[in-house]
Structure 1
């Protein structure tokens, strides 16, 4: 059965949560240690993490969870058309031009000017389309994958594909599915025997949140959302040698704003506060992410406790009693605590071929909404959830 059209799974005009997977071509270890050539490409994982962080600062897309592996990457993304609707025309224009500056001669070095922003603002039809694209997960993934592929090909002095093809998308339709999927994504390095615990799994959202709770900081990769004055850009182009402009551009790419931030500041907050009005977009104003809205009804402390406990259940057949407090947490969202380990470690068994994930009743309702009779995994996953 062919994959469904993206429009059948998610819409840029409505808020939805999607688990996406992008694999390297032929599943080669192009971001890890290549078993054939023994070349170590692990440094590319940081390329991907920084690009994710940069895009989170300009798109109306919340990064909920992520994991960068040696031959693929996972993200759980939430598009936010309600956030982009609040941005002014100038904000929309500068955000778009930072990622897609258009064709320019090299001396401009892709830095948008005030004149560029004003010209785009005056094109109302195009600006309306750009607003839609800034909350579109497909455009977010395009802006993530293409630059990484170009950088890798340039580094390897080759041409051709870096990614296998279009990313796989799976809509997450309720909190039970989101909690299990988040754990599955965060525990990918442990599951692949690349790390023993989430605390030693870099290039995952779990690692960033753990380090953030410890007060660890990093140099921000967020875009500087301030256009260059047109006169200044013209003067630099006329009076500054190209080599010097290139060095300046490279330095700014390493730290566009010159800020240091808490390691997890660019990720969506984990805890969803129910007292917040549903109509409140909770727009983030510090230029690091789209919004300040959480996504789970757990505290970060409870989430990390459950994550670490689940990481210790890595061996099939291991039967350890789940702590009562964690069992209550799972039951509240509709998950059978005795099946929790099975659900997370064998996520692919239940939802690997499904276009959506969640409780069976939620999947049934989603099937009806999209004109289907059922979704794959609906029956098999029923044992993992409570009615």
Structure 2
């Protein structure tokens, strides 16, 4: 049975979510359509650009993404506190990036007109609504999917639905779920045999992270502190940075460890490239408190391993009890 979105997105449980949207009919985001003979790779560029533009507007950061032939994956972090700290002017500025036509009361406010008590009450309600929508995942996806649908329908010279009725979401309840889901998303082209190496996995966050890391000048004699600073600076500006538990504005994992872990994981999908597990990879898995086989299963079957919530058995059982549910998939 379809569940209400408000029961699936619970920011008090986690700010991290895995989002998936799929095209309906024989619609293509990319690649060669054997029916029309057209190539639609440029639509992936539309999606990535729009996704990043929206993350500059919303209090929603992109942790990972992969744009496939007829669907996409995004791992996001909702920064509710950031949105709550915005000034009234900042909320209006961001909202007007999405919608050029505002409310007459807002226009009067911007023109420095004095509002009476009743008007101020209505104005405050408008700002509160806009603020809430600017950290709402459903509004983020609405602004992403509607834009792409209009562009694609215009190009195809047709009307009608472009996307399935609802996007799918998975709440990522702990660090292990966040990292394994990010790797699952980043490895999509490798798993689908569209690419053989991460650097050739077009329109993925891992390709973007690798490119930035390799093209940032480095000093071989850097101290540990400077190495961590380099890792911070070498990451894409429009992606949520990997960092440490000490920095709440980053993903609690070092960039260099994530790149090594995903690189090793990618070779597990290519038998002729599979090699021994390095000591560093074993140490990384130990930090995550996850066995090699469990990790490889997660990055292969993450979407099917869990339903709307992903995390340890304890976290899933606790959340199920909190939501008065008998059981969540993944508990076993």
Given the alignment, which residue of 239, 251, 264 partners 1:295? 251
Do 2:18 and 2:75's aligned partners in 1 also have CA atoms closer than 8 Å?
Answer: yes
Match of 1:164? 164
How do 1:68-87 residues align onto structure 2 when only pairs under 5 Å count? 68-87=67-86
Answering whether residue 107 of structure 2 is matched by residue 118 of structure 1, we say no
Q: Deviations over 1:329-350 (max 9, x none)?
A: 1222221123322221222341
Q: Any unmatched runs of 5+ in structure 2?
A: 217-232
TM (normalized to structure 2)?
A: 0.85
Answering whether residue 245 of structure 2 is matched by residue 274 of structure 1, we say yes
Match of 2:63? 64
SS of alignment partner, residue 171 of structure 2? strand
Q: CA deviation at 1:3?
A: 2.7
Counterparts of 1:327 and 1:27, CA distance in 2: 43
SS of alignment partner, residue 25 of structure 1? coil
Match of 1:370? 323
Q: Any unmatched runs of 5+ in structure 1?
A: 105-113, 217-260, 279-292, 380-387
Do 2:29 and 2:44's aligned partners in 1 also have CA atoms closer than 8 Å?
Answer: no
Q: 1:336 to 1:14 in 2, by over 3 A?
A: closer
How do 1:241-320 residues align onto structure 2 when only pairs under 5 Å count? 264-271=236-243, 273-276=244-247, 293-297=249-253, 299-315=254-270, 320=275
Counterparts of 1:117 and 1:188, CA distance in 2: 48
Match of 2:203? 203
Q: CA deviation at 1:211?
A: 1.3
Q: 1:307 to 1:262 in 2, by over 3 A?
A: closer
Q: When you count helix as a share of all residues, which structure comes out higher? A: 2
Counterparts of 1:199 and 1:338, CA distance in 2: 25
Counterparts of 2:138 and 2:85, CA distance in 1: 21
Match of 2:228? none
TM (normalized to structure 1)?
A: 0.73
Task: Give the number of equivalent residue pairs.
Answer: 306
Q: Deviations over 1:142-161 (max 9, x none)?
A: 11100110011111111011
Q: Deviations over 1:305-362 (max 9, x none)?
A: 11111111104799744222212212222211233222212223412xx111112222
